[in-house]
Structures are given as structure tokens and as C-alpha cells.
Structure 1
Amino acid sequence: MSFYKLVPLSLTVAIAASLAACGKTEASAPPAADAKPAFDASQLKTALISLNAADLDPAVQACTDLNGFVNSKWLAANPVPGDQVTWGSFEILRERSLEVQHALVEQAANGKAAAGSNEAKIGDIWKTGNNEAAIEAAGITPLQPELDKIAALNDTAAIGGYLRDSFARGNGGLFALYASPDFKDSANVIAYVGQGGLGLPEKGYYFDESQAAIRAAYVAYIEQLLTLSGVDAAQAKEQANAVMAFETRLAKASLSRIELRDPAKRYNPLSAADADKQTPNFSWTALFDTLQIPAKDKFSLAQPGFFAEVNSMLADVPASTWQAYLRFHAVDDAAPYLSRNFEQANFDFFSKTLRGQQEMQPRWKRVLEAVNGSMGEALGQLYVDAVFPAESKVAMQHLVENLSVALKARLETLPWMGEETRKKALEKWASFTPKIGYPDKWRDWSGLATNGEDYLANVQAARAFNYRYMLGKIGKPVDRTEWGMTPQTVNAYYNATKNEIVFPAAILQPPFFDAKADPALNYGGIGAVIGHEMMHGYDDSGSQFAANGNFDNWWTDADRTAFTSRTDQLVAQFDGYEALPGVNVKGKLTLGENIGDLGGLTVAYDALQMALKEDPKANVPVDGYTQDQRFFMNWATVWRRNFTDGELRVRLNTDPHAPANFRANGAPSNMPSFAAAFQCKAGDAMVRADDKRVVIW
């Protein structure tokens, strides 16, 4: 799972970017100095966050509220900007990454890039995205051919044909179809199909009484977009209600995000012929023929109840309702790349009403998002060449080695784990693959054709190209060199089927990593991130995958029971955190991340103690605080973060990560080393009672 950001609940714990990460690759190496794009880091306007004694709040005791002690002054002085929904350490690093990327795409667009080069293609997307006059003049015209196809659908057969054609162009939406390692044979890639088709964030939004206002606003948005696309006002109102009813049926048949945390509910292998029998109104055989992928003998059709409902809807929902549903989603999907009225409507609902963002981001950021979505790894290659120092990768390798040693020591002495399970746990430890900074091989984009006139066409071309790359992996061995995040992404992740931990270049900055900082800051920052990602291999989901990446039970029944009794305590701890009045964190939804935090911070603390023994001269106070204290203080600094109420509400329903303030306090409150560092006493808020203290790893 990624370290902080919401990711799709799919086959591995982090495949969000893998849909654009297959096909040919080129060997990469640390760039030569004369090959670096011109970039002056002194031009960055966004200042880094780092642990600073001046930010500490003396009115709050660390033993009462570590997050408040470290972050409350900064949070009070730094509310969420109008064009954001969260603001803190992650967002500030993201802003710095965007500033670098902005300079690089400007160079690509305004320089003399060779025709057909990555820079030229990035430049095409950038220039057409910023040509507002052309976009406004075009209106909905770039999407009209798609709308005409939808308007011609008059029966089940035609709808099925359209869905197959849409997937072939990378525009699937009613359900998800993607490539990923086989759960039972992780060395090879198969096709996976899973539920989808909803416009609201999660199935609960369609039924919970607390979301009634959001549902009403969503129906109004559907009506607005249909009207803007040319539907008569009266018909648009009727169609909007029909679309909402359509999606509500899909939602009722869908699994919740908590249910989808179980890997078994994401894996259901069968043949296309057997799948066709389950959905006689939709042929998987025909779909795979259209896509030209070798999936007929075996693919995963998870959530069979959802697809049974889709099958029924193909028979009993009028073609006119299917047209309305498909038309709305086609316009909604294209809205950010169309004229201002479409883009504004999309922002007003999804960003402002749903998440509380008050202002649309400047156009350069919106277009840069499209560049990243279209050619993220190509831009990442420019980013690495420009700003990633080779010494950061070397230093990270050393930290990973130290965390690995500390984790092994924990596994070897874990009192509740039996020897049979321990042997398997150590086998998994030995097979971890770390990836740092950037891929060893870069993708080849030579098959992507862009133009200098049509923004939407460029985005659609990249989408189709990336989807075809992804489909091209099906039936082939897994490429273990691929990354699921771009180097410019401020995050990290664990992939269960590859048993790998991955740290993109952009996260290797303060407060996470600083080669000049004292050991406590690096171990409390990126060290805890490293430990967190390692511990995902042993969380409630990752622990169901073996050392070779296969979905396989390597636990004895007694050890699994002992593990679950401990994780149940962690569920209860986070269930007790009230994030908004009357709205608590969902302990089961956030369990994997909370296990990662507790185990990762524990192992990082062990690694810090080893490092201080190796170099006793480093074990000195800084700004009046010991290394142990600064370790926990920097952990809290990482979680310095404000949210809009709307964004927080969405995350509480959809995000497998708990809100930042609870992550800052949650793990340390279970650690005697924290209490010792700050001389906390029994009864202090940050010292959990013995019968409540969670000890897993």
C-alpha cells in the first residue's frame, strides 16, 4: 500500500500507475552531468518543511498530544489554501515537485525537441492543454463522435458492442479490466476484471442518510452535464434521475472498500467460456477477441454478484437509460479537457461540493496533471536527470539495509509466533526487493502519436496507448523492473505479488530524508517509511502472500489467531478516534496502514539505536532534545497536515489511511520507547494502558 495517498483497491497493494507501465523499455543509468535539463533549484518558491524548535508548542505536552506539541502552531498558521483540499508535509513536497516539472515541460514545449521524441510529445500535450482559446472555440466538438456512437445504441447487442469498443480505446468504466500478476502464479500476468461504474466515491454514498445532500448535488451535476452536452433541459432532468437509479443498482451489488481489503474477494479465476455462462447478456469471449488478449483460458472475474447485476441490467434497463448513463460518463470523463463550462461544472461538484476545495488550481497545474497521467514516466526521466542526486540513492540503500537488519531481529524473537510460521516470515524477509529513486529501465513511448492542435485528442491517444501497453502484459512473465509510481511522486509503496518496496525520488527530501540531518530525523522520517512499507508484507492483507508473491497461507492456525487478536486491538484503537463530530475513523478500513505505521516505527526505532551504537558521537541532543525525542518528533512532523472538512469526510469513507493527526499519535502511544523518551507516566493520554497497548511486531 502507498504510504499516505488513496490508491485503488486492486490486485496488488499498489498498482495505480501500472496501467501505464508496460511495453518496451530502455536501459537507464544515472544521467551524465551534461545531459541534465537546465534547472535552478534556487528558483523553487515552496520552502521545505523540517523539524524546527520554533514550531513546537510549549502549551501542549508531548505526553498528552505528540501531534499537537509538534504541529499545532504550524497548522494554525497554515490553513488549507483555497486551491487545495489538504496542506502539509506531503503537499509542500508535491508543490516543489510540480515547480520542477513545470520548468521541465516549459523547456520541452519551447525548446527544439526532435520530432517524435518524448520531449516533443510532452510539449504537444502541454501546449494544447494551455491553448485555452482553441479549447473554448471547440466546445464539445472533440467529444461529439463519441456521443454520436452512444446515441445510436438501441439494444443489448449494440450496448455490448459499444462497451467492447470503448475498452479497446482505453475508455472502460462500467467495470475495471486490467493486467496484474496471477495471485496463484505471481511470475505471470493475467487479466483481472472487477466492479466499477460508480460516479460517487464509494457505495455508501448511495445509501447513507448522511450523504443525502451529496446525492442531490450529484443528480444536479448529472443534469447539468447532460444539458451542456446538448440534451433538452426537461429530458436532462429525467435522464439524471435515471442515471442515479442506474448507479444505485450497481452500488447495491458492489462490495464495500472494507470488504475489498480481503484478497480472496479480488480473485476468482475461471475461463471465458464459464464466465459467459454467468453473464449470458455479456460475452467475455467476445470482449477478449476485441481486445486481442490471451485471457480466454483464465482470467479473474471477482465480485460475481456485481456482474450478475450488470447482466440483469443489460436485459431490463431501457436502452435510453443506458444511453444517458454512458453519455453522462463520457462527458464527465472528458470535462477537464473541454471548454470552461464543462471543466467548471466538474470542479464545482467533485472538488468544491464533495471535497471542500474553494478555488480551481491554476491552469498550469491542471495541464501538468494531464501530462503526468499521459506520460508520467517520461516526465519522470526528465525530473530525475534534473534534480535527483546520486548520493541520495546510496544513502537510502544504507538505510534500507539497516531497517532490514532491525526487522529480521524482530522476526527472530517474536514471542507469539511459532517456529513454522517464523521460518516462512524470514523467507519473505529475505526476498524483499527495494527500489529507490527511479526505474532501472525507462519506458519506450515511440508508439504514441500526439499533435499540436487538439488537447482532448492527445489525452485520449495517450490513454489508449497506455491501456494497450498494459493489455500487452497479459499472458507474459512479470517484468520485475516496472514501477507503479513515477519518480516525481511524493509517496512510497509495497507490492505484494512482487514483494517489493519502492521509494520514488521525490519523497527523498525533508522532512523524510536529509543527508545532512542528525540520525534521529532520517530514522523518524524515511526510516519509518521504509519500515512501514516492509511491514505491509506482514499486515492483514500482505501477510496472505508468500515470499514468492503467491496468494498462499503460510501461517499455522494458532499463529494466525494470535496475529488477529492483536490486530483486532488496533482496529478498536482507531475505531475510537473521532475525526469529525459524530464521525469516527474506520479501524477495519485503515487496519493495513495502521499495522504498517506501528510496525514500521518500531523497527525504525530499533534501527536508530543500532546506528547510534555504531556512531556514539551522533547520539547528542539537538536544540535541547535527545535523539530519541527527535525521532518521534520528526515522525509527527511527517504527519503535519490540515484537511478541509469535505476532504476529510471523503477520506474517512474511502481512504485506507487514517487522518494524519491520528497517525502521528497512534503508533507512538503504543510504544514504551516513546514514553521513556519523554518521561511520560501511566495515565498520560499518549501512554496506553497495558490492557489496551497494541503489540504486534
Structure 2
Amino acid sequence: MIRTMLAAGASALALTLAAPVAAQDETDTPLPTMSFGEWGFDPAYISQDIEPGDDFFAYANQKWLEANPLPAEFSRFGAFNLLREKSTSDVQTLVNELLKKDASTLSADEKRIVDAYNAYLDTNSIEAAGLTNIKPYLDAIDGAETPAALASLWATPGYASPLGGYVSVDAKEPSRYSVYLGSGGLGLPDRDYYLDDSEKGRNIQAKYREYLAFLLGEAGYADAAGMAQKVYDFEDTIARTVSWDRATRRNRDLTYTALTHAQVDELANGFPLETMLQKMGLGQTDRFIVSDMPPSAERAAELGLDEATLAKIGGGTPAMTTLIMNTPVDVLQAWTAKEMLENNAAILPKRFDDADFAFYGTLLQGTPEQRPRWKRSIAATEGMLGELVGKSYVERYFPAENKAAMIDLVSNLRKALAESIDEIDWMSDATKREAMAKLDSFDPKIGYRDNLETYPDLAITAGNPVANSMAAAEWGWQDMVSKLGQPIDRTEWFMLPQTVNAYYNSTKNEIVFPAAILQQPFFGISADDAVNYGGIGAVIGHEMGHGFDDQGSKSDATGMLRNWWTDADRQAFDKLGNAVVAQYDQFCPLDDGETCVNGRLTLGENIGDLGGLSLAYRAYKLSLNGQEDEVIDGLTGDQRFFLGWAQVWRSQQREDAARQRLRTDPHSPEEYRVNGVVRNMDEWYEAFGVTPDDELYLPPEERVRIW
């Protein structure tokens, strides 16, 4: 497209540069909608055929689910997706306004947004370019014929590496930044995919080898299938000897091993790790945190690890360096080349995008259709210049009253958690004092940060999406490395204002709620308080709860990873957590009866849900100042509260997507984020008259209440 415009003359370029470029012919699939009625929940969605005590998720959501089949571009769809689609559409409106402007009137930042968006959107130019844009990077891989050359290349932003590092707040010294090191290298979603010997597992492995052969054939390998097998064998060895079980990796005590520079050198096993670290800009530091260092026998005994847990711990970084040195360089080059093509498939000719989606989208997740190009263009632009876009987003779409209301909600949730801590009968006064100190130091962040990033010196090249992706990788890396030796930046956010999500950060002890989640079904400025507390109130409580879940509770008020519990209190807490694990292990959503929720993998999120909803209920009651809430449409305040929670998780998914999530996602499936939580709350039983005859009923002594 740029060549055509230049041929037309400079005046045409100046007048038309900002115009939207042509993409593949696409017709957006109509998406489901959701009514929130007059007070935040539409009673028309309540099923008259399902008892709330048998399946509360279906009681609140089944009628909507039946009326709204999964759109073809989604592996799952629900309330979160509705808001994410709204956010994407809102950002598209902002981008379209820039596209309609005369190019000569665009600011430098606006031009970067336009150029990034158009470069990704313009599939005609991508097709015409073929492999021209990616060829310099493939040539560099082809020229890296020694371990030292590969180490240097792997250290270059934009190139994948089986060994990696990054800069983050030090978990045991949160007043400084440290370098974290670890291994990766898998092309399938998890190590268990390589270990799966079922018929379905073997089929996925075979299709993955076919996909590798396609990529390597495009990279110019004469015997693409033969090299694909060697690359697969390399990854299979990583899965079997290097990678850790996903649930075991959640243990923060296991994933923190501080080493000196000399000790890291000892892990190299002949691999030029020093060369790699220096090239990455990570060599000038006195501390490295290795996240996958197998524990010594002494450390294992100290942590009380049994043989079953130890069997799930791979060899980590030391095993990875040995494997690299024992793997022929041409196989490592091939692995790097397929990663380069795979990671850029969406901005290469259509055959790459189609092959990538056929495997990762359709085969692994069951999704029939690719997401429309314009939506992916928005996501790609946000990936490079997201906070520049976010500045306009909050100016347009985030009312000041939403932030003020959230501040009040957070304040009430803090009061609720303080009351809960004070009333806990299994926690000693000494541990309670530490817990209160942590609560007092929570740093809530709402909407957006004041100093939104402007990405200085990130150059966007019109018409070359590969160059833009590599430039963004380089900019992001240098920005991160520049933190070493600097004071902690407490203004930094890890989500964009237009992101529909929230998070807790243990090393900064902060809870963060981007602007885009502060909308219905989570929050409505004119919605019923009971629904808001059951929605965004429980989300606030959930993120606070992460500070006190099985892993977040290992950090103190300053964010330091240390044990601030008495032994007896920790044992009591772990006993409650184990009861939660046992409950969720029993949830098997697929018909085979064998593919079940991993209660240990999902424990942190399940504690967050249990605690979050309990705290939100307490905060809701505090907001009433001792008064009874009114009855609306025949529903009490308590009933509306629980319905507010249920509609937040209104969602359905494809079976293949469910299988992948059960293996890899630390969150339980949505139906259990409803049913698994409410059945532990006495207030829900009272609100809906649930009895021992109902399927979700748990005897009082089996109900778990942690916070």
C-alpha cells in the first residue's frame, strides 16, 4: 500500500496516509447482548425450572445461555467478553476518529497509533510482502552457527529463547529490583500435553509436528518433517526433564532462589550464559533470582516436600543449559526459526495466520472462526502503544463519579476485612497484628495511572508490522532493564485502562482496578447496591483476598516474602485451604468424569472467590447501617446480592477450550466460581431456602469460611 501511495505522489500520501487500509473481506458476527433490567440484574433470566439449591449458576444464567449460543470467533463467551468487546469497540471509535483526520493534522503520537493500526490491518500489503519483512531475522538465525552466537541472538528482544530473564521487584527485598531467570521453550500450552498418552493427546502431538513441519518448510528446510521431529523431540525433552508441574510452580517458596553472579555461572554447564546476560543488559547486578531451581535435599526437608511433590519438580535452568549443550546447533536454530514465524504468524501472509489459528484456535480450543482482523488490529496497537490509546479512552469513557464510587466501595471492603480478621477464632493475636498491618498498607489503584506511558523513542514504521513488533519488543525490554538500580516505581500498572480485569501485586501489596471493568455487570452507577456489592464488591474482595490466599499470604505489609505467621496459625490456615482443594477436586465438568478441576492449581483463585464474596457480603451489610434492604421484584437484598455474583460469571465455552483451561488455568470454570462459592456461605442457604434435599447442600461442618 505504501508503495502504491508513493507512486501516486507526495500530495496523495499526505492526504491519504491516515485513511483506513483494506483488510480481508470480513463480516462481524453479531454478538450476544445482556440486559441488566432496572436495577442491575434482569429477573427475566431467572430459570423457573431449576432450583437455586441444585445449580445456582444455571438458576441465574441458563435462560441467557440458551438464548445466546457461542459466537463462532470465541472459544468461550460471557459477561467478561461482553465488556471486552465493548472496550474494543470503544477504542475502535477513537482510532476511527484519527483515521478520518487529515494526515497533516495528526500529532506525532496520533500518527504512530494510525501507522501501527494500519500496518497490522493491511493484509493486502502483508500478502504482497511475503517473507520480505521477516527474512532479516530468519537470516540472523541461520547465521548463528555456534552456541555463543545463539546465546547472543536469544538475548536480542523479539527473538524467542528457551532460557529467559526479566527485571522485577525482588520478592524478599521489595525495595529493590532484581533479575529473575528461568526456562521455557515449549510450543504446546503445558508440559502435560507432551506427557499425554491418550488417543486425543497423541493426535494433538501429531498435529503439532505437522504444524512444525509447515513452519520449517516455509523457513526453507529441505527435510521439514525430519527437522520438525527433532524440534519436537527437543521440546519433549524439556517437558520431561526441565519443566515443572504447573500447580507446583505456584509455591512461591520454591520459585525463589537467590544466587550470586558466580553461582549463576556454575549453572551454565558450558553454555555461554554470561554472554547472554551481558547482551541482555542483565549482567551488571549482584543478585539473580532463579525461579525454577530444584530445591536441595535440605531445602526440600525444610519445606516439608513429600516424594509426590518432588516428582513434579523438573530440572529447571540447570537441566536446560545441559540440554542446550547436548542438542545439535541446527536443531536449536530450527527451534528459534519456528518460534520467529509462529510468534509473527498474524502479520505474515495468510497461510501462516490460517495455520496458526487452525492449530491453536480450532484444534486446541475448538474455535471455528478467526477473530475479525480489525479487532486484532486494535489488540496489536494496544500491545505497542496501549497507554497512549488509554489516555483518550479514560477521557472519553471513564466518568469521575465511577472512580469516586469505587473509592467508597474499596473503603467498605477494607472495613469488612478488618472486622473479619478481628473475629477469626483460629488466628492468634500476634498473626492478627501482622494481618492488620498488611491490610492497612494495601495500595488501591482505580481507573488509570496519572502518568500514562508515552513510549518515547518507540518508532513505528508505516506498512511494516514485523518491524513494529520487533521495535516494540526492543523498547519494552530497554524500558524494563532501565529499572535496575533505580527506586521502585509505585506508579507503574501492569494493565491498561481499557483492560477488563483486575489484579493484586504481592510485592507492592497493591490492588488494581482498570477503568474498563467498572461497568455493568460488575458496576453500575445507578444499579442496586446489593448487585454492585455482589459484582464489583466481590471483585474488590477477591483481589484483597489474594493478599491473604495460600501464596499471597506469604508476603507481609511491605511486600516482603517472609513467614509472618505463627506455626499453629499457618497450620490452621493450610487445613482450611486443603478442605477447599478437596471440594474443588470433585468438580468434573466434562462427560468423561475424569477431566476435573485441579483444586491445588486453582487454590489461590478459589480462596480469592470465597473470601471475596464473603467480604463483599459483610461490606454490603455495613452499607445498610443496620437497616433491612427493600424487596425489589420479589427479591430480597440478599438474593439480589448473590444474583449479582452469579451474573458476573455468566459464560459458556467449547469443550476443547475447557480441556485446555483445566490443565493450564489457575481459575476454576465459571460455574464453579458460582456454585463452589455460594455453597460455603450460610447466608446463601438462608436467602434461597436451601435444604439438605438440594444438590449443592453442604452440611455446616463442611462449609469453609476463611476470611
What TM-score comes out, normalization by structure 1 length? 0.90
Q: Contact 1:175–1:197 (CA<8 Å) still a contact in 2?
A: yes
Aligned runs of 1:407-422 on 2, under 5 Å? 407-422=417-432
Give the 3 Å change call, closer, same or farther, for CA 645–72 of structure 1 in structure 2.
same
* Preserved CA contact (<8 Å) 1:48 1:510: no
2:576 matched to which residue of 1?
Answer: 566
- Per the alignment, residue 159 of structure 2 pairs with 171
What is the alpha-carbon distance in structure 2 between the residues aligned to residue 502 and residue 180 of structure 1?
Answer: 17
Provide the residue aligned with 1:162 in structure 2: 153
Deviations 1:512-542 (A, max 9, x none): 1011111110000000000000010000000
Aligned mate of 2:612, from 593, 597, 600:
600
Q: How many residues end up aligned between the 2 structures?
A: 647
Q: Deviations over 1:68-117 (max 9, x none)?
A: 11011111121211011111100001110110111112223342576663
Note the C-alpha offset of 1:47: 4.1
In structure 2, the residue matched to 1:20 is none
Please tell me the root mean square deviation across aligned C-alpha atoms, in Å.
1.6
- Which amino acid counterpart does residue 452 of structure 2 have in structure 1? W
Corresponding residue number in structure 2 for 1:299: 288
1:85-484 paired onto structure 2 within 5 Å: 85-112=75-102, 117-164=108-155, 166=156, 169-210=157-198, 211-232=201-222, 235-252=223-240, 253-293=242-282, 295-304=284-293, 305-484=315-494
* AA partner of residue 555 (structure 2): F
Cα contact 1:412–1:422 (8 A) shared by 2: yes
Q: Does 1:669 align with 2:688?
A: no
Whole-Å Cα distance in 2 between the matches of residues 112 and 548 of structure 1?
51
In structure 2, the residue matched to 1:7 is none
Partner of 1:76: 66
Secondary structure class of the residue paired with 1:300: strand
Residues 221 and 345, structure 1, Cα contact 8 Å, conserved in 2: yes
> 2:152, 2:503 → 1: CA distance?
37
Structure number with the bigger relative contact order (C-alpha 8 A, sep ≥ 6) is: 1
In the alignment, is residue 587 of structure 1 matched against residue 578 of structure 2? no
Q: Identity over aligned residues, as a percent?
A: 40
User: In structure 1, how many angstroms separate the alpha carbons of the residues matched to 2:95 and 2:467?
Assistant: 19
Contact 1:493 1:501 in 2 (8 A): yes
| Aligned-partner residue type, residue 245 of structure 1 | D
Aligned to 2:318, the other structure's residue is in SS state helix
Cα offset, 1:613, TM superposition: 2.3
The 2-side partners of 1:543 and 1:421 are apart by: 11
Counterpart for residue 645 of structure 1: 655
Please give the alpha-carbon distance, in whole angstroms, between the structure 1 residues aligned to 2:177 and 2:485.
5
> Quick check: 1:293–1:472 contact (8 Å CA) kept in 2?
no
Cα distance in 2 for residues equivalent to 1:212 and 1:369: 33
- Conserved 8 A contact 2:278-2:284: no
Give the deviation of 1:380 after TM superposition: 1.3
Corresponding position: 1:65 with 2:77:
no
CA contact (8 A) 1:281 1:314 kept: no
- TM-score in terms of structure 2 length: 0.89
Report the CA distance shift for 1:191/1:289 in structure 2 as closer, same or farther (over 3 A).
same
Q: Is the 8 A contact 1:183 1:497 kept in 2?
A: yes
Q: Would the aligned equivalents of 1:428 and 1:547 in 2 still touch at CA under 8 Å?
A: yes
Letter of the 1:143 counterpart: I
Paired letter, 2:181: V
Match of 1:557 in 2: 567
1:63 Cα deviation after fit = 1.4
Distance 2:269 2:221 in 1: 32
Conservation of the 8 A alpha-carbon contact between 2:153 and 2:159: no
Measure the CA separation in 1 of the matches of 2:253 and 2:643: 39
In structure 1, distance between residues paired with 2:544 and 2:415? 12
Q: Give distance in 1, aligned partners of 2:571 and 2:342.
A: 46
Shift of 1:287: 2.5
Residues 326-371 of structure 1: per-residue CA shift (max 9 Å, x gap): 1111111111111111111111111111111100111101111211
Residue 295 to residue 81, structure 1, CA distance change in 2 (3 Å): farther
**Cα deviation, residue 294, structure 1:** 5.7
Q: Which whole-Å CA distance do the structure 1 matches of 2:587 and 2:55 have between them? A: 13
Counterpart in the other structure of 1:544: 554
**1:140, 1:229 within 8 Å by CA — same for their partners in 2?**
no
> SS at 2:316's partner residue?
helix
Kindly indicate whether the alpha-carbon contact (under 8 Å) linking 1:181 and 1:190 is maintained by their aligned counterparts in 2.
yes
String of CA shifts for 1:14-62, please: whole Å, max 9, x gaps. Answer: xxxxxxxxxxxxxxxxxxxxxxxxxxxxxx9874553211111010011
CA distance in 2, matches of 1:366, 1:612: 44
1:679 Cα deviation after fit: 1.5
Structure 1 CA distance for aligned equivalents of residues 521 and 502 of structure 2: 14
Q: Give 2:478's aligned amino acid.
A: R
Q: Select 1:532's aligned residue among 539, 542, 564.
A: 542
Deviates most, 172-181 or 665-674: 172-181
In the TM superposition, residue 313 of structure 1 has moved relative to its aligned partner by 2.3
- What one-letter code is carried by the residue in structure 2 that aligns with 1:289? Q
Q: Is 2:678 the counterpart of 1:689?
A: no
Q: 1:455 to 1:622 in 2, by over 3 A?
A: same
Is the Cα contact below 8 Å between 1:49 and 1:92 reproduced in 2? no
Distance in 1 separating the partners of 2:550 and 2:211: 38
**Contact 1:295-1:475 at 8 Å conserved across structures:** no
What is the rounded CA distance, in whole Å, between the counterparts of 2:675 and 2:264 in structure 1?
Answer: 47
Distance 2:268 2:148 in 1: 13
Shift, 1:630, TM fit: 0.5
* Residue 625 of structure 2 is aligned to residue 613 of structure 1: yes
Distance 1:283 1:45 in 2: 52
Give the Å deviation of 1:555. Answer: 0.4
